[in-house]
Amino acid sequence: MTDTLLADAAADETARLIGKLAAGPRPGLRIEEVGAVTGIGDGVAFVSGLDRVLSDELVLFASGAVGIASDLRPGRIGVILLGSGGDIAVGDAVRRSGAVAAVPVGEALLGRVVDALGRPLDSLGPVAARETAPIEAEAPTILDRAPITRPLSTGIKMIDAAVPVGRGQRELIIGDRQTGKTSLAIDTMLNQRHSGVLCVYCAIGQRGDAVARVVTALRKGGMMARSVVVVAHAEEGPGPGFIAPYAATTIAEHFTRAGRDVLIVHDDLTRHARSYRELSLLLRRPPGREAYPGDIFYIHARLLERAGQLSARRGGGSLTALPVVETQAENLSAYIPTNLISITDGQIYLSPRLVRKGQFPAIDLGRSVSRVGGKAQAPSFRAIAGGIRIALSQFEELESFARFGTRLDADTRARLTRGAAMRAALRQPERDPMPGGEQIVVLLSAMNGLLDGIAPERMPGALQALRASASTRMEAVGARIEAGEKLTKEDETAILALARAALDSMGGRTDADA
């Protein structure tokens, strides 16, 4: 009897629950489009069955791999894999995600090392970002931009004086291998310690030890807490290397829209172009010049056009881009370097000939130009920039002429001595960016002959004496230089007097110069 009553009670409870569910709201229909893998390559996969997939949409593989729908053709979709894709097999199920590739953005990324999708590569735990943003975005329109009027101090004498960079500019760093391109970019980042500029460094297809050296330099220089490092390792395949600079730009743009100034370094776009060429050939797109696809120019243009100075109504922030490109045998007319030179607002050319002479940074002023920075250059630097270019060009011409052993007059010998002193004054070790006040003291001293006759082995000590005097006895003038004020004749006279005293105290000059 008891068992019968319990069974009836259970049946009544079941009926009540069924009735409650039937009376409640019905769940909506969920339509899911599922395809299948028809082919797999090195960094790409071919999928069928996803007829409604959108371009650049993320697709999810049964193995857990992720890819981007890139090549849409009837009956076949080419997918760029964001990883190795070693576990993907023909016949595996593929699903649409309904979303595009995005990365976390915000303050939580500062001080972090992440991959092309914003996933942490350091040992600091998950990235606690509250927002995400698509890696692809439209560049600011003309009406959303403002003129570039503020300088971005690099701390490198030759650049700040002769090839200035403005905030919001796109300045290309170009040169052969082992000429100091990355060091130049890292020194520029380190010089932002006191400027308030945030930095994003994007390593494309680099080895792990090279990235580790960059991170170590940023930490030692006190800039890691205000920097983001985005890494696409060479071992990951071409997919992450292709999307990494777009992801890094999205991270930087978040700060720019908030009204802040950001510096982004793409190191380097030669590897980025090679990654895209590899993907395009694997996806069986028609090759063009040097086997690059026809849209390689657009690939870089749509990336670098996102840099610029925003107008006041858009927050007034700026995104300064320093893309790096590698040349071979000083060939500036190669395909990718030519494209990037035409896209950017100038280039800093690093010459292997100057490297062999021991001139660091090995900047060739004859081939370097800034098409915008002169308008944003500090007045104190603008007053001496033209003199440096002319003096160095005349010195190099005379130096070549003097090699023939021709008898030289006293004036020519004096100009050779002045040029050699100026070239020595422009030497600068890496990881040692200089404040504007110290740069002005050194440059004015060299141009006015205070460094003439100093023995080469004593030149570093003389330059250090000038820098020490500038930092301890010219704080007011240095502050005015950093503030962008123009120096008066009285200021220049005081600077030269201070420089003479500093050099006399160390006994670095010859009797004739003293």
Catalytic residues, by residue number, are 371
Residue pair 38/30 in contact by the 8 Å Cβ criterion: no
The three-class DSSP label of residue 271 is: helix
Q: DSSP secondary-structure letter at 54?
A: P
Cα gap 184→212, rounded to integer Å: 17
Question: Do 96 and 220 meet the contact criterion of CB atoms below 8 Å apart?
Answer: no
Q: What angle do CA 275, 263, 337 make, to 5 degrees?
A: 40
Half-sphere exposure (Cβ direction) of 269: Cα atoms closer than 13 Å: 32
Task: Tell me the three state secondary structure of residue 280.
Answer: helix
CA distances to 20, 31, 33 from 28, in Å: 18, 10, 16
| Whole-angstrom distance, CA of residue 347 vs CA of residue 342 | 10
Question: Pairing mode, if any, of strands 172-175 and 346-350?
Answer: parallel
Short-list 44, 228, 49, CA closest to 127: 228
SS3 content of the chain, % helix, strand, coil (to 5): 45, 20, 35
CA–CA gap between residue 47 and residue 29 (Å, rounded)? 25
d(Cα 342, Cα 388) in Å, to the nearest integer? 26
What does the alpha-carbon distance between residue 151 and residue 160 come to, in Å, rounded to a whole number?
9
Concatenating the DSSP letter of every residue in 172-235 gives EEEESTTSSHHHHHHHHHHGGGGT--EEEEEEEEE-HHHHHHHHHHHHHTT-GGGEEEEEEEGG
The first and second tokens of residue 406, run together, are: 């021709």
**Quick one: residue 123, left, alpha or beta (phi over 0 = left, psi -120 to 50 = alpha)?**
alpha
**Cβ 227 vs Cβ 163: under 8 Å:** no
Distance, in Å, from the CA atom of 514 to the CA atom of 510, rounded to the nearest integer, reads 6
Cα distances (angstroms) measured from residue 405 to each of 216, 353, 393: 48, 22, 20
Distance (Å) of CA 444 to CA 18, 54, 277, 500: 90, 60, 48, 11
Q: Which helix (H) or strand (E) holds 439?
A: helix 436-447
Position 274, amino acid: R
Cβ 140 vs Cβ 256: under 8 Å: no
